[in-house]
A = this chain, B = another copy of it.
Amino acid sequence: MLAFATNICSLVLMGTAETPDLLHHPHITTAGMFVEAHAAFAGRLERQLEQTCDLPLQWFEVLMRLVRTPGHRLRMSDLAAQTTLSASGLTRAIDRLEACDLVRREACPSDRRSTYAVLTEAGEARISAAVPVHVEQLRAILDDVYSPAELEVLTDLLRRLRDAVNPCVAAASRPPSDDD
């Protein structure tokens, strides 16, 4: 029997007799697609946004969130919750944005523990200029790959995954029916 196992891979498969093809389980393929598609997609957006607007994707994410919020301000903890940044990661990102005068910090009058991150005029100008460019870059990719119907299906499937895995972002800390 060992004579047929000419490489280590075969031995591994035989070692788990009940699930001989676990290494190629469809869920692993799905997860792999997710990771690869995200890396490729985000990587291209990052490069393009850097080239055209001189903006790191992380900065775009933060500025975008602020410009979409009434008053152009958000508490540090809320801003962190609504981006891919951790609390300390956001502190440092805002340090950098503040150094470039795109964002400023303001004290929260009602709770002196909190700090607002507020878009400056320069920050507003910067993100306002970047948004149409970014939308066009998204359009160039997404409209090329998907039909309008497929785009809706994909968005719905992604939203459901996000809501299931990260219930806090979906439910709390955002107004009802604000859907990104």
Interface 1/0s, chain A 46-77, versus B by CB < 8 A?
Answer: 00000000000000010010011111100000
The yes or no answer to A27 lying at the interface (CB within 8 A) is yes
- Contacts A16-B128, A23-B67, A25-B135 hold; do A157 and B150 have CB atoms under 8 A apart? yes
Interface 1/0s, chain A 34-50, versus B by CB < 8 A?
Answer: 11111111111100000
State whether B138 touches A164 (Cβ < 8 A). Answer: no
State whether B151 touches A30 (Cβ < 8 A). Answer: yes
Q: How many copies altogether? A: 2
Chain A contact residues: helix, strand, loop or mixed: helix
A108 to B: closest C-beta gap in Å: 18
A54-B123 Cα distance, complex, nearest whole Å: 42
A61-118 interface (Cβ within 8 A of B): 61, 64, 67-72, 84
A158-B29 Cα distance, complex, nearest whole Å: 10
Interface size on A, residues (CB 8 A): 71
Instruction: Return 20 A-B CB contacts under 8 Å, by A number.
Output: A8-B124, A12-B67, A16-B132, A22-B132, A25-B138, A26-B151, A27-B135, A27-B139, A27-B151, A28-B135, A30-B154, A31-B138, A33-B162, A36-B158, A36-B169, A37-B165, A41-B165, A43-B165, A44-B166, A145-B165
